[in-house]
Chains A and B, each alone.
Chain A
Amino acid sequence: MKLTFNWLKEHLDFSPTLEETLTNLTMLGLEVEEVNPVNPLFPAVISARIESVENHPGSSQMKICSVSDGHETLPVVCGAMNVRPGMIVPLAKPSSEILGKTIQVASIAGINSYGMLCSEKELQIGFDQTGILELEQDTVIGKTLNEILSLNDTVIDLSITPNRGDCLSVRGIAREVAASFSQKILKKEPPIPAGKKTQIKVEIQEKTQCPVYGGAFLTNVKIGTSPFAMRYRLFLAGIRPINNIADITNFILIDIGQPMHAFDHDKIAGKKIIVRKARKGESILALDGLNYDLHDEDLVIADEHQVLAIAGIMGGELSSVHADTKNVFFESACFDPVTVRRTSRRLNLNSESSYRFERGIDREAIPLSLLLASNMSRNLAGGNIIHPRINLHDKIFKRKKILLRTERCHALLGLKLKEKEIERILTRIDIKKSGKHYLIPSFRSDLEKEIDLIEEIARVHGYDRIPETHEKVEILYTSPSPLIQLTQTIKATLVQAGFLETINYSFMDPKNNFSLEGFIEKPLFPEIILNPLSPSQSVMRHSLLPGLVQSAVNSRHYGTAGIKMFETGCVFPGKKSKSGSTDSPQVSHTGLILTGTHVPSSLGESARKLDFLDLKGAIEMMFNKLRIPVEFEPLENHLFQTGLKATCREIILGMFGELSANFIKQDCKDTLFYGEFSNEKMVSCLPPEIQYSPLNRLPAITEDMSFLADQNITHQEIVSTIRKCGITLLEAVKLFDIYQGKGIPDGKKSMAYSLTYRDKQTTLTMEAAHASHEQIKENLKKELNVEFR
């Protein structure tokens, strides 16, 4: 809501400063968005009279005007078509500055021009650029523009919350300002004109959706441009002036908040206004130049033949006021907010009028709006007023009454106010006590219940005056869900392992319709967003993979050598059927991605490609930290070149591996290693709390072995062969070296293991350990044909 400070002050009978006004507005909940002082300075732009106009000999597009400023008469060349002798105009004299340009005496097509005649747009005091600004005929010439026009003002832009329809007008805001100073606004009481009754009959078919319909009829109006002062006001409020009659309705809209519409009286067929529902197949060419098809739920204003206006939203082109209009019918009514909103949304047609009807107008301001319109029209368009007519279909419109309990107010605000104080506070905003109740003024349609009054008390009294109170509460400790705890542990562990946490969008490109069979299925019916910002964000993700791949690839493009990233977040497995339930489950996953080079963090380490084992190590670290006894099994999946699945008690917790090259269609030359796990399934596999087991203080003996094995024998085969011997003394098996290459025959690899033996009952002897060790070696030789070195 844009208004000017001068306009606001016209509604007050006291003069607050701008600063205190803005502070009070803010603290009353009317958020000040912007404040712009307007003080155009035109020291060298003066009023002047055009004495004569001649055609330019060199150009048919130009005129030569002889312009007098009272001292001298000089020629000024001008391209505007509205110049005529006797017109008073703003003259920018040579050396004055307009829009950052300095005006100079210049030869235009061979004629010397001494200055420039200005349009209001050129002076930035209006929208019109079609012609030279015409000043009032009685303007003294030779005065600066600042002396003639009062231009200085301040534009205030307020953000009004949707509940405060009453503050969508200068008067409404003035009421709030006055209340904040414990003052009152000035009452506008235009004289009630005498006259004959209108010929127009009004028939209201939808009385609940149009409880009040008023009209005023004027004859012999002269349509033209509004005076500068009026246009300037509208300009500052951001409203484009149209003609004097339309400007009057717009002025009243901003001034007191009542939307009005002006019809060309002579276009109303049958001299009858009908407020009714639209009929199937009806349409209207609206004032915005577009044709709208109407629906039988839309409320319209019609005459006997056709629809004249969409009620409360926009008038029709055919019945609107035009340059040749003689007789005008002003409409000022009250339309149902929901009906207006529904139609406005369906037609995607919003107006200043619909905006106000949706938020509720003050039906008691309807008579005032008609009086103002009639009087202003007589002044600005010279019409004769035929009696304004008001159809009040709820003549018994009652103001709402709300019961307020003082103790309820105390209890909710924690502020002890006496009943008298409460009464005084509410009276400031025109809410008066009536018996046990409070009487709500007609402009506050938002106040319906006791709680609304309590808010008003707090608001007007000031939130800052409510004391901060320490709460006496019984603290009930509930630990966060296991899922929340698990994701926190995973995050901490992966950060420790050198991974960066990412957060990717929950939506993705529907092209990502892959599966990880047995773990993530591609949704048969994905969650589709009906109104996505772009097609690449139009379905909910069923996996963390697309986001992580994108984040990794983007960072590689920016030149990061090694990427280790993860995300924990929701994925959406989709609906079970096409129609689907709205309560489609979402599940929590952890995804890891790794690519590029391992950047050495210490001296002596060498740079190398990040690989599968880096990923596996991080995953093992994660499961170790969670103490989930996980097993890795080979995986056949088109998504992975090579991969493993992680299982626990036959539940697949997730999958990881090297992403297959033909899956990564992105512009990426790197090998990507990726893993994804279900957080819920990990929760289901969490072991019980750690239980201490007695320390074994009997000594252990460690013996190493190293051998050559066929290169396709896996570590796991070796470990299980060792374990298969069933040596009870054997406590731990650890691989500590593996080597292939120089010095090792082709097809072989050298491996070294360290085995720990301990007897839980008695001190283990060297001999016993050695015997076990030898037995294991024998078995390895026999089973896997390894050669000890």
Chain B
Amino acid sequence: MNNSYPTNLSPVFQQAEDLKKQFSSDLAQAASDDLPQLKIKYLGRNGLITSLFNELGNATREEKPKLGKLLNELKNELSQTLETMQKTKVPGTNTASYDVTLPGRTHETGTLHPLTTVLQEICVFFENMGFTVAEGPDIESEYNNFTALNILNNHPARDMHDTFYLDSGGLLRTHTSPVQIRVMQNGKPPFRVIAPGKVYRCDSDLRHSPMFHQVEGFCVGEGIHFGHLKYLLKLFAKKIFGESVKLRFRPSFFPFTEPSAEVDISCVICRGKGCRTCSNSGWIEILGAGMIHPNVLHNVRLDPEHFSGYAFGMGVERIAMLKYGIGDIRLFFENNHDFLVQFK
């Protein structure tokens, strides 16, 4: 309604028009908390509309019905506007119209490194299974890293580890397995321990980094057997790779476990049909495991006739690469901003 009234009409017409303008301007400045007050101001018992109705008596006979109709319309319009405003006006805003598609007011959060996220997921699973997190140092002794784990000097099994040696005579641990030795030397069974950490091997290409992460887990007690290991790792694989994943235990060799196994999951990419990731085998190796070798138990002064245990170890990068489809392991340590923000 944008019609103006001829000047010969009663001033009430003009007053009604002004009132409407005033209302619009009041409404524009009102916050949602002000709406009830606005209602009182215009529509209340002593409100502005009511006082205009009181002016009706001063109008001419011809004008009366017209004016009455106009004032009623104005009253309805105002009360309707107020009602819809009350429903839609967002608290704290003071504009009558706004673009709800604008980005929300926020604050930028950072993100954990993808390896931390994967590592935490792995550790949380095992913690829920009654394992305790333990850590060991990156600089290890030859004894803890090799000898105590039944990896004897002058045995070709040493060739499986490209070791960084330090001038102090120590070395950078090549696996997290020395944590087994540290924990068992300083405690009493039963042990249920999960040990995440950095490990080092002198190798660098798409699939190898001189520093990477492993998670070692082991359990030692009375009556622990291979069937228990299979049960635990099956649950683990389902947790990390999904309900439908299949597991395969293949015989293998690690000097510190016997029997030893390599554990494959059905390929997460092709679901076992064969693809590039699984070199068409349908299977992807994810971890090594086995029953702790009696020599290792013996080395930490536990009687292998009395105690037995299983151990397993996995590469965190490998699991993260499978999970996120990352092709180059070195990306994890480049710490490129655009790489990291993808894991928010």
Contact = CB atoms under 8 A, between A and B. Distances in A.
B168 A582 contact: yes
B276 interface: no
Interface in A413-468: 413-415, 449, 451-452, 454-455, 458-459, 463-464, 466-468
Interface in A648-670: none
Given A480-B132, A500-B111, A528-B166, A459 B251 contact: yes
Nearest to A340: B154
Interface stretch (A60-68, A86-94, A132-140, A597-605): A597-605
A471 B231 contact: yes
B117 to A, nearest CB: 9
A452 B223 CA distance: 19
Given A338-B154, A468-B230, A554-B334, A163 B253 contact: yes
A531 B164 contact: yes
Interface string B216-260: 000101011111101110100000000000001111110000111
Contact of B108 (A28, A531, A599): A599
Given A455-B260, A601-B106, 12 more contacts: A162-B253, A414-B225, A451-B258, A491-B116, A497-B110, A499-B110, A506-B198, A529-B167, A529-B172, A530-B166, A560-B337, A569-B198
Contacts of A474: 190
Contacts of A558: 336-338
A504 interface: yes
A501 B226 contact: no
Contacts of A452: 258
B335 A603 contact: no
A458 B108 CA distance: 55
Interface of B: 102-113, 115-116, 130, 132-133, 135, 137-139, 141, 154-157, 159-160, 164-170, 172, 190, 192, 198, 200, 202, 204, 210-211, 219, 221, 223-228, 230-232, 234, 248-253, 258-262, 291, 293-294, 308, 332-338, 340-341
Contact of B234 (A342, A468, A499, A503): A468
A341 interface: yes
B154 A454 contact: no
Contact of A451 (B107, B157, B210, B294): B294
A363 to B, nearest CB: 18
A480 B154 contact: no
A502 B138 contact: no
Contacts of B232: 471
A495 B164 contact: no
Interface stretch (A197-205, A251-259, A532-540, A741-749): A532-540
A414 B228 contact: yes
B306 to A, nearest CB: 11
A503 B332 contact: yes
A503 B103 CA distance: 32
A575 B110 contact: no
Contacts of A476: 130, 132, 190, 192
Contact of B335 (A337, A504, A537): A504
B130 A473 contact: yes
B109 A503 contact: no
Given A468-B230, A469-B225, A506-B211, A26 B250 contact: yes
A660 to B, nearest CB: 23
10 contacts: A162-B155, A411-B308, A414-B226, A468-B227, A470-B228, A503-B116, A504-B333, A506-B198, A575-B168, A586-B137
Contacts of A501: 110-113, 116, 340
B139 A586 contact: yes
Given A473-B192, A502-B335, A502-B340, A29 B168 contact: no
A31 B250 contact: yes
B193 to A, nearest CB: 9
Interface in A484-538: 484, 491, 494-507, 527-533, 537
Given A29-B253, A162-B253, A565-B335, A411 B223 contact: yes
Given A414-B228, A558-B337, A582-B139, A527 B116 contact: no
Contacts of A6: none
Interface of A: 26-29, 31, 161-164, 337-338, 341-342, 358-359, 411-415, 449, 451-452, 454-455, 458-459, 463-464, 466-471, 473-478, 480-481, 484, 491, 494-507, 527-533, 537, 540, 551, 554-555, 558, 560, 563-566, 569-570, 572, 575, 579-586, 599, 601-603
Nearest to A355: B156
Contacts of B165: 529-531
Given A414-B226, A528-B166, A463 B250 contact: yes
A495 B111 CA distance: 5
Given A501-B116, A528-B166, A581-B168, A533 B202 contact: yes
A575 B105 CA distance: 51
A interface, by DSSP: helix, strand, loop or mixed?
loop
Contacts of A537: 210
Contacts of B106: 601-602
Contacts of A31: 250, 252, 262
A517 B231 CA distance: 53
A714 B32 CA distance: 41
Nearest to A446: B253
A527 B112 contact: no
Instruction: Enumerate the 10 nearest inter-chain pairs by beta-carbon distance, A residue then B residue, closest first.
Output: A414-B227, A29-B251, A161-B253, A469-B227, A414-B225, A551-B335, A475-B130, A555-B337, A582-B170, A502-B335
A602 B249 contact: no
B133 A162 contact: no
Contacts of A527: 139, 166-168, 170
A583 B166 CA distance: 12
Contacts of A506: 138, 172, 198, 200, 211
B168 A580 contact: yes
A601 B108 contact: yes
A71 to B, nearest CB: 45
B138 A570 contact: yes
A455 B130 CA distance: 28
A162 B159 contact: yes
Contact of A495 (B112, B159, B170): B112
B261 A503 contact: no
A463 B293 contact: no
Contacts of A566: 110
B110 A494 contact: yes
Contacts of B210: 505, 507, 533, 537
B335 A503 contact: yes
Contacts of A449: 294
Contacts of B291: 412
Residue of B107, B109, B155, B251 with highest tally of chain A CB at under 10 A? B251
Contacts of B167: 527-530, 580
B60 to A, nearest CB: 55
Contacts of B105: 602-603
Nearest to B156: A162
Given A527-B167, A530-B167, A580-B168, A502 B251 contact: no
Nearest to B155: A162
Contacts of A455: 251, 258-260
Nearest to A457: B259
A583 B144 CA distance: 11
A455 B139 CA distance: 33
A532 B172 CA distance: 11
Given A413-B226, A451-B258, A503-B332, A164 B156 contact: no
